[in-house]
Amino acid sequence: MTLRIGIGYDLHRLDEQGTCMILGGVRIPHPRGFIAHSDGDVLVHAIIDALLGAAGLGNIGQRFPDSDPNLKGADSMVLLERTKRLLQSAGFGVINIDSVIIAEQPKLTPHVEAMRQRIAETLDIERNRISIKPKTNEGVGAEGREEAVSAQSVVLLEER
């Protein structure tokens, strides 16, 4: 069995005129939303980048460019589903995903299980293969000043 590791990162700014806050495919109640071409789901974007990187299939910007008008307002869970199909076609399966979301507000822990469930269902893997850890930035940087939310993901794939 051949194993492949990938890492992913994403950040989107927040604004009162932002679309909404969606993380892991879950709508999070918050007065500010993401400024983004798609729905701005930084968690799913980081996961997609990690999956594509591990499989040697490029990155999210190559596969789903923000210059594509058809992707304006795109649901990131649809992009994750498309990524899953790319992985399957290339002969890869997901072993596990470990992610961190960095946001000062809102508190994300109450939403983690729903995020894990949505991602697991989309990727057709067991929920216990997905870890999501919300963290604050202790008031430091764009995330700490509540100007942005970011996410980092590490994935392990097996080549089948």
78-110 pLDDT tens trace? 999 999 999 999 999 999 999 999 999 999 999
**What's this model's pTM, rounded to 2 decimal places?**
0.96
Predicted pLDDT of residue 160: 87
Q: Could you list the pLDDT tens digit for every one of the 160 residues in the chain?
A: 899 999 999 999 998 876 679 999 999 999 999 999 899 999 999 999 999 999 999 999 999 998 998 889 899 999 999 999 999 999 999 999 999 999 999 999 999 999 999 999 999 999 999 999 999 999 999 999 999 999 999 999 999 8
For 153, the domain range is 2-159
CATH number of 135's domain? 3.30.1330.50
- Identify the sign of the CA torsion 65, 66, 70, 73: positive
Q: Which two tokens stand for residue 153?
A: 């993901």
Domain count, the chain: 1
SS (H, E, C) the chain: CEEEEEEEEEEEEEECCCCCCEECCEECCCCCEECCCCCCCHHHHHHHHHHHHHHCCCCHHHHCCCCCHHHCCCCHHHHHHHHHHHHHHCCEEEEEEEEEEECCCCCCHHHHHHHHHHHHHHHCCCHHHEEEEEECCCCCHHHHCCCEEEEEEEEEEEEC
Predicted pLDDT of residue 45: 98
Predicted pLDDT of residue 9: 98
